[in-house]
Amino acid sequence: MSFFIYICKKRKQMNFTTLSDDLSKEFNMPKRQALKMTTFLMSRMREKLIFGQHVNLYRVGTLVLKVRKSKPFPSVKTKKMEISKKKYYLALNVSPGLKTELKKKTVY
């Protein structure tokens, strides 16, 4: 079983501090060292996403930064056509192994 899947089963939500705490407990390392490792990992992932590269997480999926282009839409107040802002969002393409595992269980 993957370490990240173990954490997800254990908690409903995972953030930066809980990930570093779990790393320190799992591998018996000081919390400061685990915090440095997770900081490095997050900064590298952020850097790769900004430059348009995909981040592949083993047995979970692939993180991709996507762009929603600006589109014209009718404004309700002015009743004129306006242009929406360009938006960025993070998409997770789920791996086939995780898809089959999620189909077996009810996920909330």
Share of the chain above pLDDT 70, in %: 86
What is the average pLDDT across 37-59? 90
Q: In the predicted model, what is the mean pLDDT of the chain?
A: 85
What is the average pLDDT across 88-102? 88
CB 12 within 8 A of CB 31: no
Which pLDDT band holds residue 108 (cuts at 50, 70, 90)?
low
In the CATH scheme, what architecture does the domain 3-104 have? Irregular (4.10)
Residue 7 has pLDDT above 70, yes or no: no
Least Cα distance to 18 among 40, 32, 2, 35 occurs for: 35
- Burial-class residue 20 by CB neighbours within 10 Å (0-12, 13-18, 19+): buried
* Residue 104, H or E segment: helix 96-104
For the whole model, what pTM was predicted?
A: 0.66
